[in-house]
Chain A
Amino acid sequence: MEPTSAAEIAARLEETGYLSDEGLATVTFLALRMQRPLLLEGEPGTGKTALAEAIAAGLGLPLVRLQCYEGIDATQALYDWDFPRQILHLRALEAAGGTNDVTEAEKSLYDERFLLARPVLAALQQAPAVLLVDEVDRADDEFEAFLLEVLSTYQVTIPELGTVRASTPPVVVLTSNRTRELHDALKRRCLYHWIDHPAPAREMAIVRSRAPEISAALTEQVVAVTQGLRAEGGLQKPPGVAETLDWARALHHLGTTELDLATASATLGALVKYREDGERVRQALDRMLRP
């Protein structure tokens, strides 16, 4: 079950349709063996989140996802009490003639059945599991400090119930879009990897493995265009692999087997998401597709 080499990891990931390169496979292998969280940075759409999903699928582990946002706090990440149900329970106790013993009543309130496990606690309870902490750079520094605590001990203390410790530390994958620099203390805890846009051959392989129904000629053309757009620069949001796939699928749905200017312009919405970018891509396509 436990992978013994980076090559084996790469093979496992490939079975789920995720094509990794050597660096990524090695760092994933190290993260698993050293039981350290893996911090992934890189351009949007290069497969940071998808890696966590692939690891979970490849190792046959449940995936628990924590989406970070500005203002997220420990109760949204760890656990919360189901207050409405607790109040109902209290009323029920009373209606049943109930107990007048406060400690007894309180004890029955903070029972595990009223505990709402949020992602981090869920990952610890379900261990072994894969915990994906997505877009950690969106959360505030306070939340980062809290994560640090959980990631260094893999345990959580609930005052009313006691300490929950993971029997096996979960595989933790953190992704960041670099909207702000993460704290050194958190980075030190993690293994770091920067995911780049893939080389043409790898991107072609990715499209083939994710969308095998698309013709080889179309795949080649689509990849050539997106690679060209990235190299050319000047776009507000250069297409990621996710956009390449979207576009290829869109073209396929229209029955296209060979790229032409008309269908390409009609489906640009799958590739670029800004009006200004649309203009630029149309001009670039004009150049690329006109022999």
Chain B
Amino acid sequence: MKPDFSNDVNAEAFTLRRRPPSEKLVDIGFSQLSLALASGVALVLLGIFLTVFGQAREAIAQFGLNFLTTSDWDPVNDRYGALVAIYGTLVSSLLALVIAVPLGVGTAIFITEDLVPTRIREAIGLMVELLAALPSVVLGLWAIFVMEPAIRPVLNMLHNVLGWSPLFSTVPQGPGMAPAILILVVMVLPIITAISRDALNQVPIELRQGAYGIGSTRWGAIFNVILPAAISAIIGGVMLSLGRAMGETMAVTMIIGNSLSFNISLLAPGNTIASMLANQFGEADGIQVSALMYAALILMLLTFVVNVAAQWIVRRLSLRY
């Protein structure tokens, strides 16, 4: 039976509050505003692509795909080719990953798998996070004045021992590809460690217990059970850091030597797309700006492909328990 409030003086207290039009207006306005702001992300992405593509069109029309395979970069005669920079970008980031992945995953295992007391684990985790926070330009400064002079004897020794191979055929003279790769290792290591740590932490405790329960040792469990369970997230993280390494600019620009001529030796000065952009944009004009935009477009597409692949790997290949 419904209560009858018709004669009640307090009827108003029980009726639903009617929303005044102004309140509805505020509500709708706010939701539309937030929609517009969220669309800002899509607009910015579209804007980046259109701006870079629009500015690069002149160079694309003039150089076509030869831009990717020629290596002369000659502002005087307006002939441009990005092969040196593309080669440098790929080689420096891939070699940096080759060194950083075992170090990063090993560190992540060390701070997730109960090998040392919690305090030490937390301290190492904090330090790795702080390393990620150091600005790239400060690492570049350190690389110029501290790291490069310190490792030059080592590089010299490499040259003396392995000088017969084209990879070490030049005498190290300061800035070059090898120190740039090392500083890239320092920069991507925290990313790989952080993502691997999160991935390992998310492996269900039951899997570990199961592994230990059938008598496996700690490292048996890590290699046969825990790492396979976390591998998709780790690979995704590695891909993300590959994207980061390819786009990394300041530290690399300051230490790679910015050579415009091709040299396969790792001890010789090199160049990457990002460092070429950083070096030349300030004083470029005319077709050179367009050529640089073309190079930027290539870098953008490279990092885009790598990042999307990373997300796809994480979503599709992740194990479901």
Bind each other? no
Q: Taking beta carbons and an 8 Å cutoff, which residues of B are in contact with A?
A: none
Q: Taking beta carbons and an 8 Å cutoff, which residues of A are in contact with B?
A: none
